[in-house]
């Protein structure tokens, strides 16, 4: 009878997990891009927080890929690549 969709019909949990897993990767990507292009390191906090965020984003995007769209597996690969990039850059 209702023609309008409810928010619970539009937003599903795998999508929320996927979006939450993209945020740390976007933050680290913006920090690295600002450092390389503008020679400004505007990420003032310790890189350990970014490493923890990326470390948590890998399983979140894997859950989103398993239960949601296959697109989130690409995000899992990007998160794992950013994690390796950070680990080797901090070494």
Could you tell me if residue 36 is inside a domain? yes
pTM for this prediction? 0.75
Residue 18 lies in a domain: yes
Q: Is residue 4 part of a domain?
A: no
Contacts of 56 (CB under 8 A, 6+ apart): 21, 24
In a domain, 62, yes or no: yes
Give residue-wise pLDDT tens across range 65-78. Answer: 999 888 899 989 98
Domain count of the fold of the chain:
1
Domain, as residue range, for 39: 14-90
Q: Which tens digits make up the pLDDT trace of 3-30?
A: 677 776 777 888 888 999 999 888 888 8
Within-domain flag for 6: no
> Does residue 77 sit within a domain?
yes
Pairs from 28-35 (Cβ < 8 Å, separation ≥ 24): 28/53, 28/54, 28/82, 28/86, 29/82
The vertex-86 CA angle with 76 and 31, nearest 5°, equals: 95
In a domain, 72, yes or no: yes
What is the predicted pLDDT for the residue at 74?
92
Q: Does residue 38 sit within a domain? A: yes
């Amino acid at each position: 009878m209702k023609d309008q969709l409810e928010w619970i019909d539009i937003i599903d949990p795998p999508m929320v997990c996927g979006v939450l897993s993209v945020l740390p990767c976007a933050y680290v990507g913006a920090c690295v891009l600002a450092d390389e292009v503008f020679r400004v390191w505007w990420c003032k906090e310790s890189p350990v927080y970014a490493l923890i965020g990326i470390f948590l984003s890998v399983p979140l995007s894997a859950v989103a890929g398993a239960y949601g769209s296959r697109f989130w597996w690409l995000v899992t690969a990007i998160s794992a690549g950013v994690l390796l990039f950070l680990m080797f850059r901090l070494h």
